[in-house]
Structure 1
Amino acid sequence: MSLLPDLPEVSITATDACVDFPIFDAKSRSLKKTMMGLVGGNIASESKVPIIEALRGITLHLEHGARVGLVGHNGAGKSTLLRLFSGIYEPTRGTAQIRGRVAPVFDLGVGMDPEISGLENIIVRGLFLGMTRKQMEERVDDIAEFTELGDFLRMPLRTYSTGMRVRLALGVVTSIDPEILLLDEGIGAVDAAFLEKSKKRLAELVERSGLLVFASHSDEFLRELCDTAIWMEHGQVKRQGEIEEVLRAYKGHAA
Structure 2
Amino acid sequence: MLELENVCLDIPVLTTETRSLKASLIRSVTGGRLIRSRGGAVVTALNGLTLNVHKGGRVALIGHNGAGKSSFLRLVSGIYQHTSGYFKAHVPVFPMIHKGFVTSPELSGLQAIKAHYLLAHGHLHGFDEFCDDVISFSGLGDFIHLPVKTYSQGMEARLLFAVLTGGSHECLALDEGFGAGDTRFYEKAQERMSRFLSSAGTLLLASHSDELLRRFCRRGLVFDSGRVVFSGPLEDALEYYHCNHGSSPVKLAS
* Fold match (TM-score > 0.5): yes
Change (3 A) 1:247 1:150: farther
Q: Is there any run of 5+ residues in structure 2 with no aligned partner, and where?
A: 247-254
Partner of 2:9: 19
Answer yes or no: is the 8 Å Cα contact 1:111–1:124 preserved in 2: no
SS of 1:91's partner is coil
Partner in structure 1 of residue 202 of structure 2: 211
Counterpart amino acid of residue 127 in structure 2 = M
Give the TM-score of the pair, scaled to structure 2.
0.85
Matches within 5 A, 1:168-183: 168-183=159-174
Aligned match of 1:245 in 236, 240, 247?
236
Q: Matched residues in 1 for 2:183 and 2:245: separation?
A: 26
- 2-structure distance, mates of 1:130, 1:165: 22
Match of 1:223 among 198, 202, 214: 214
When the two chains are superposed, the root-mean-square deviation of aligned CA atoms in Å is 2.3
1:29-108 matched pairs, under 5 angstroms:
29-30=20-21, 33-44=24-35, 47-48=37-38, 49-108=40-99
Q: Once the two structures are superposed, what CA deviation does each residue of 1:138-187 show, in whole Å capped at 9, x if it has no partner? A: 21121122223334323322233444433323212222221111111232
Of 52-61 and 136-145, deviating more is 136-145
> Among residues 72, 83, 105, which one is paired with 1:114 in the alignment?
105
Say how many residue pairs are matched. Answer: 244
Aligned partner (choices 3, 19, 23) of residue 28 of structure 1: 19
What TM-score results when the alignment is normalised by the length of structure 1?
A: 0.85
Counterpart-to-counterpart distance in 2, 1:101 and 1:143: 22
C-alpha separation in 2, matches of 1:200 and 1:139: 18
Identity of aligned residues (%): 37
Question: Of 113, 117, 121, which aligns to 1:126?
Answer: 117
Distance 1:52 1:155, change over 3 A: same
Task: Please say if residues 230 and 237 of structure 1, whose CA atoms lie closer than 8 Å, have aligned partners that are also in contact.
Answer: yes
Look up the equivalent residue of 2:107 and give its one-letter code.
I
Residue in structure 1 matched with residue 145 of structure 2 by the alignment = 154
Structure 1 range deviating more: 234-243 or 26-35: 26-35
The 1:214/1:156 distance shift into structure 2, 3 A limit, reads: same
Q: CA deviation at 1:57?
A: 0.5
Cα pair 1:55 1:77 within 8 Å, conserved: yes
